[in-house]
Structure 1
Amino acid sequence: MTVNSIGLDTKKTKIIAKDLNKLLANFQLYYQNLRGVHWNIQGPAFFDLHVKFEELYTDANIKVDEIAERILTLGETPLHTFDDYTKAGKVPVGKDVSKADKAVQLIVDSLTELLKIERNILDASADANDEGTNSMMSDFITEQEKTVWMLKAYLGETV
């Protein structure tokens, strides 16, 4: 087994970095969804959702940077083109979404896809004894599960 300078198996970290790149691409699509609904939201919930979507896209922007830096820490190169993002995309793309329920549902669906990717990375990072990635995924998952619950409550649904 070959280990890198942070003591992790390089074969396992290559796989984790590939999955992190998939997460990075999907986070970029999620971020764009948030920007779109932030800009285009209309109706009685405008003031509340406009602020909420800005909060979420600001957080997503920070997470994009954290994911890319983790990929670099593992010795790999983060994806950085829109072409790469769309090819790796699993997050639904929202276009011209302006109604509250549709906008919130788009964000719930986006987070649901991110959570699937993050859980896969969590399993792989645990197997590789990669506490840095594991901790990051655990934090993301905890926060996003709560956001899904809150958004579903807004929609009058349960998780």
Structure 2
Amino acid sequence: MKTKKQSEATNILGLPVKEAGVIAAELNILLSNFQVYYQNLRGIHWNIRGKRFFDLHIKFEELYNDAQLKIDMVAERVLTLGGTPLHTFEDYIANNRLEVGKDISKDVDAVQLVIASLSDLLKIERVILEESDKINDEGTNSMMSDFIKEQEKTMWMMKAWCEEEI
């Protein structure tokens, strides 16, 4: 049976309250950056031009639909950990680490933006993965592992499309 001091130190999930709060804050940074990534994807989806329009238009829609799902998952994880998800554009911009794509219509520039954005998201996710692993936060850990695996594959495909080496 837990003592009063032990029960105060952990949340309902059995995770240390202080560390869970730190992870929730890091997840809010990820949430903000995913919102910028999502908007970048919408912009390149709408503005793409050229001979590869049909293929890329569909691919960017696939990516922004996936990003939208991930945004919801991250926000719900913040709530699960006892935090409050950020939900204003002001918060998103304040926490953004991604390049903001504006008026991108060329295929290679659009794909390069996706690659750069995913690279920056991976950096944030790896920090969260490391922190969640320290406190045995399997829910966050599993989510980050899944995101990382999917995004690494997407980056590889995008780089292959650009005929670049990883």
When the two structures are superposed, what TM-score results if normalisation uses the length of structure 2?
0.95
| Cα deviation digits, residues 91-134 of structure 1 (max 9, x gap) | 11000000000000001000000000000000000001100000
State the distance in 2 between where 1:48 and 1:116 align: 28
Structure 1 residue aligned with 2:84, among 42, 59, 77?
77
Q: 4+ residue stretches of structure 1 with deviation over 4 A?
A: none
Q: Measure, in 2, the Cα distance between the counterparts of 1:49 and 1:158.
A: 20
Q: Which amino acid aligns with 1:60?
A: A
CA distance in 2, matches of 1:128, 1:20: 15
Distance 2:132 2:52 in 1: 40
The alignment's C-alpha RMSD in Å is 0.6
The equivalent of 2:101 in structure 1 is 94
132, 142, 146: which one pairs with 1:125?
132
1:45 pairs with one of 40, 45, 52: 52
Larger-gyration structure (1/2): 2
Q: Which residues of structure 2 form unaligned runs of 5+?
A: 1-5
TM-score normalised over the length of structure 1: 0.99
Residue 21 (structure 1) aligns with: 28
Q: Which amino acid aligns with 2:116?
A: D
Which stretches in structure 1 are left out of the alignment for 5+ residues? none
The number of aligned residues is 159
1:61 counterpart residue number:
68
One-letter amino acid of the counterpart of residue 33, structure 1: N
Counterpart of 1:145?
A: 152
Counterpart amino acid of 1:67? V
Return the match for 1:106 from 73, 94, 113.
Answer: 113
